[in-house]
Structure 1
Amino acid sequence: MRFTPHLYFPISRFALRCHRPVMDPLVVIYGSTGTGKSDLAVELATRFNGEIINADAMQMYRGLPIITNKLTEAEQRGITHHLLGNIGLEEEPWTVTHFKREATRIIAQIRSRGRLPIVVGGTSYYLDGLLFDDRLVEDQALPETGLLNRDDVAAKFPILTAPADVMLKKLREVDPVMADRWHPNDVRKIRNSLEIFLATGRRASDIYEEQRIRKESKWASDSGAARAQSPWKALMFWLYAKPDVLTDRLDKRVDKMVRNGLLGETAEVFEYLQSRLATGEVVDRTKGIWQSIGFKQFEPYLCALKETPESPALEKLRLTGIEDTKTATRRYAKYQTRWITMKTLFSLQEEKVLDRLFLLDSSDIEHWSEEVLDKGAELTRKLLTDADLPRAVDISETAREVLTSKVERSNRQESKCHKTCELCEKTFLTEGLWQKHVKSKRHRKAVEPRRFPGAPLPGRIKPDTAVLGLP
């Protein structure tokens, strides 16, 4: 759903130059899907002579405006958008290193034109990678090899295209610390960690430890002095909507996407996939546009439509696709919020710049102009004129409540573990998730046959039954 706040006159270039701060400003907009990030970016760019840099991995793909939820040309309102629809469907998503390099280059170009760079998107690891140094270990292998892309790296090291369990076994041999950090199903992270070792001969865990020591040394040498200078002065907005409100909004947005032609777009992607498969090409569907929400959920419907177009089951498959798309969208929004809570807030505290993040409450669309646009514009004006910024918790009651609770949660050090329930065939990396599992109905149901001798077991059991929470 797009918002339509009131129009405002932009500040002149002369005013910006007269109040130019020592460091060049940058506006960065975080937030989960459906909170109005792109709308705020356009409004601020209109007001403050800005240009926008897209930081949404799926919106980098050309075409598919409905699936990727791109702004229409009318909604862009003539504002220049960079990295939007700039790669082909056959390409892999950009690594964080690639994004940071290109975004930094574009930021410099925007500033050379006397304009304000505004970075916006839901791919938070792009935004974090842009803002924070020493967080790109998983992307350091490729430059070390001297090869052009990860397909070339995989050609040199065939194990990088092996199944996840094979790569994980090798990773346990060369870097057990990193192996214990990743879930067995997290193929991308397992591959990245193994890729670093194979390409550089160094363990990723050692690189992380060196970065930690270097960072601690840097802050210790400051001895309480002013924070180290950043290459830019960033103002960060976190657009936030209350969970129950956002759930309803996202469901309605999916319904609107269906009315606007979502199934037609998914059919185009489906036919594109079939044409590539027909040539004998092997398509890795664990990454890229194939992971976009909408395509996977409607694929069963599209397969049935192609094979049995008159089947009475088609309507049921279509409705299931819609519901699955809604579920996946809600799940993704929760994931985005969790990332900001557990990673971005932690990084901001570590860099001592948490006071530069302002939460704007977009829960009530009727008050979007007052709560999001007006407050965002006033904070941006203060940034550009080098005026004092208010305390983030004083922006609104929602900001006070959410920031306080989320910062507390981010600071809570959850006990790490690496436990596998052989009965349920699930692996857990934190003690909290493990305890939640052993108390779950699913686990108790799997355990129940153990209480009755001779009953069949639903799965494998480790010899150490204490690990399963059994008596």
Structure 2
Amino acid sequence: MRFLLRRGYSTLRLFKQSMEPLVVIFGSTGTGKSDLAVELATKFNGEVINADAMQMYEGLPIITNKITTEEQRGIPHHLLGNVPISETPWTILQFRDAAAKLISDIRERRKLPILVGGSTYYIDGLLFDDRIIKDQSADTILDRDELNTRFPILTESGEVMLKKLREVDPVMAERWHPNDARKIRNSLEIYYTTGRRASEIYAEQRSRKESKWAQASESSHSPWNVLMFWLYARPELLNERLDNRVDKMVASGLLDETAAVYDWYQSQIAAGETVERDRGIVQSIGFWQFEPYLRAVKETPESTELAKLREAGISDTKAGTRRYAKYQVRWVTTKTLVSIQEERLLDTLFLLDSTDINTWHGEVAGKGVDLTRKFLAGEQLPQPVDLSETAKEVLTAKVERSNRKDTPCNKRCDLCDSTFLTEELWQKHIKGQKHSKAVRWAKRRALARTDPRRRALVAVEGQVADPEPV
């Protein structure tokens, strides 16, 4: 398998050749993805492959919300707790390489591979070959330390990297927000590792895909033999569930784990090691939220503010978890669904309603088991929108949203110190309350320069007017 990948064979081709089944489970945190994976593995002689970046780290079962040994029910779980906390998360290429080999190994044992996780970009990279930008040989891909050594600009600020990107790939530079250093860096990495502009590679991919489907019959179906489950819960109820889960995590020892990560982080800093704040285990929700509390415990253990800082950490962790769940749905809508439609796989994507925890066994486990049985038996599957009212409502709306093409632009609002990359976001901004308020105050400040009475009024209301005398 590894040899084939290095020779330029995509995972897609390998799946097509084998025509053996693969079950994929994704969705927001807190919807029961791991539980469904175990249920299906128990019923259909399967093994589970983890596709959650944080759960790949060793130890720290609470902060990464790993499935416990008891909950695994004897089912083999792969890529779970296999990475030291000192390492950065695997790249998509690393994950794809390892997961593809595991899928092959599991199939050789005549078992069903079940891929599950919330890091949907890993799943996308495995299933949809065009989602990965690379040279013809995987051997040319450098790790992050090698890239930083060979191309020092990749360690610079987002502003400096964006200036360089404008020189080598102006098309991609127009796509990224000036503050989005990670995406800017990724575009530069593509340029440096492949010797080609990312914008050109993306254009070629779009052209190949359009050509492929233009030649295909409208009635043709993808040769993939994959069944996908999207576990979805309505935000208002999921948010309450996630808040309760954080409370349980705190009661189970979340603060002890965050303290252990904090000690490791401080030891790395003391040793002169560089720890990127937006990569690795420190990305896990709960660490940065509790950092003020953890620092105070170390530096001022007798402080009367500890209880307040602890409660703030809990509140911030809940808010961060809710934001992450929203982000996961947005990723599925704007990226995963687009690829699923392009590969004509919508008829094998089933949304399971995980909103009500009391009906989880029927709505999620029960329907998941029934669909998997039919899938493996080669029976006719129902239409995904007919599975439930929630499936019909959400799938219809999200597919329509994924088909909507935003109008690219690059507009900056100096009043609000913000940049917008689509016309839709720009229009939303200039019609919003924040911008309207900024415009009003700009007018007041302008008038204050010529009218002393207005100048005094602006100062009283807490705004800084022009300091120069009138």
TM-score higher than 0.5 here?
Answer: yes
Distance 1:246 1:385 in 2: 34
* Local SS of the residue matching 1:372: helix
* Partner in structure 2 of residue 286 of structure 1: 278
Distance 2:307 2:119 in 1: 33
Residue 444 of structure 1, aligned match among 436, 442, 451: 436
Counterpart code for 1:101: D
* Partner in structure 1 of residue 148 of structure 2: 154
Matched, 1:253 2:245: yes
Task: Kindly report which structure 2 residues correspond to 1:297-308, keeping only aligned pairs within 5 A, or say none.
Answer: 297-308=289-300
Structure 1, gaps ≥5 residues long: 1-20, 460-471
Superposition deviation, residue 251 in structure 1: 0.4
Residue 89 of structure 2, aligned match among 85, 90, 93: 93
* Partner in structure 1 of residue 36 of structure 2: 40
Distance 1:285 1:33 in 2: 22
* Partner in structure 2 of residue 324 of structure 1: 316
Counterpart code for 2:259: A
Counterpart code for 2:221: R
Question: Which segment drifts farther, 41-50 or 197-206?
Answer: 197-206
Aligned in 2, Cα 1:58/1:402: closer, same or farther, shift over 3 Å?
A: same
* Local SS of the residue matching 1:71: coil
Distance 2:420 2:132 in 1: 25
Cα pair 1:55 1:122 within 8 Å, conserved: yes
Matched, 1:237 2:229: yes
Root-mean-square deviation (CA), in Å? 1.9
Superposition deviation, residue 153 in structure 1: 1.5
Distance 1:108 1:119 in 2: 13
Aligned in 2, Cα 1:442/1:81: closer, same or farther, shift over 3 Å?
A: same
* Partner in structure 1 of residue 425 of structure 2: 433
* Partner in structure 1 of residue 169 of structure 2: 175
Question: Which segment drifts farther, 205-214 or 416-425?
Answer: 416-425
Task: Kindly report which structure 2 residues correspond to 1:333-412, keeping only aligned pairs within 5 A, or say none.
Answer: 333-412=325-404
Cα pair 2:24 2:228 within 8 Å, conserved: yes
TM-score (norm 2): 0.89
Distance 1:272 1:335 in 2: 28
Task: Kindly report which structure 2 residues correspond to 1:265-284, keeping only aligned pairs within 5 A, or say none.
Answer: 265-284=257-276
Aligned in 2, Cα 1:57/1:208: closer, same or farther, shift over 3 Å?
A: same
Residue 195 of structure 1, aligned match among 162, 168, 189: 189
* Partner in structure 2 of residue 117 of structure 1: 113
Aligned in 2, Cα 1:156/1:22: closer, same or farther, shift over 3 Å?
A: closer
Cα pair 1:144 1:200 within 8 Å, conserved: no
* Partner in structure 1 of residue 301 of structure 2: 309
* Local SS of the residue matching 2:29: coil
Superposition deviation, residue 200 in structure 1: 2.3
Superposition deviation, residue 441 in structure 1: 2.5
Cα pair 1:144 1:199 within 8 Å, conserved: no
Counterpart code for 1:111: R
Distance 1:251 1:418 in 2: 37
* Partner in structure 1 of residue 14 of structure 2: none
Residue deviations 1:408-428 (CA, integer Å, cap 9, x gap): 111122222222222222122
Counterpart code for 2:188: L
Distance 1:411 1:215 in 2: 16
Superposition deviation, residue 363 in structure 1: 1.0
Superposition deviation, residue 436 in structure 1: 2.0
Cα pair 2:22 2:113 within 8 Å, conserved: yes
Aligned in 2, Cα 1:151/1:115: closer, same or farther, shift over 3 Å?
A: same
Superposition deviation, residue 126 in structure 1: 0.7
Distance 2:276 2:261 in 1: 14
Aligned in 2, Cα 1:384/1:413: closer, same or farther, shift over 3 Å?
A: same
Aligned in 2, Cα 1:97/1:147: closer, same or farther, shift over 3 Å?
A: closer
Cα pair 1:60 1:85 within 8 Å, conserved: yes
Superposition deviation, residue 361 in structure 1: 0.5
Residue deviations 1:54-73 (CA, integer Å, cap 9, x gap): 00000011111000000111
Residue deviations 1:39-97 (CA, integer Å, cap 9, x gap): 00011001100000000000011111000000111111111000001111111111111
Distance 2:190 2:363 in 1: 45
Structure 2, gaps ≥5 residues long: 1-16, 450-454, 465-470
Counterpart code for 1:171: L
Residue 47 of structure 2, aligned match among 47, 51, 57: 51
* Local SS of the residue matching 2:436: helix
* Local SS of the residue matching 2:129: coil
* Partner in structure 2 of residue 205 of structure 1: 199
Cα pair 2:231 2:353 within 8 Å, conserved: yes
* Local SS of the residue matching 1:134: helix
Cα pair 1:145 1:199 within 8 Å, conserved: no
Distance 1:181 1:148 in 2: 25
Superposition deviation, residue 444 in structure 1: 2.3
Cα pair 1:67 1:265 within 8 Å, conserved: yes
TM-score (norm 1): 0.89
Question: Which segment drifts farther, 413-422 or 319-328?
Answer: 413-422
Superposition deviation, residue 103 in structure 1: 0.5
Cα pair 2:141 2:193 within 8 Å, conserved: no
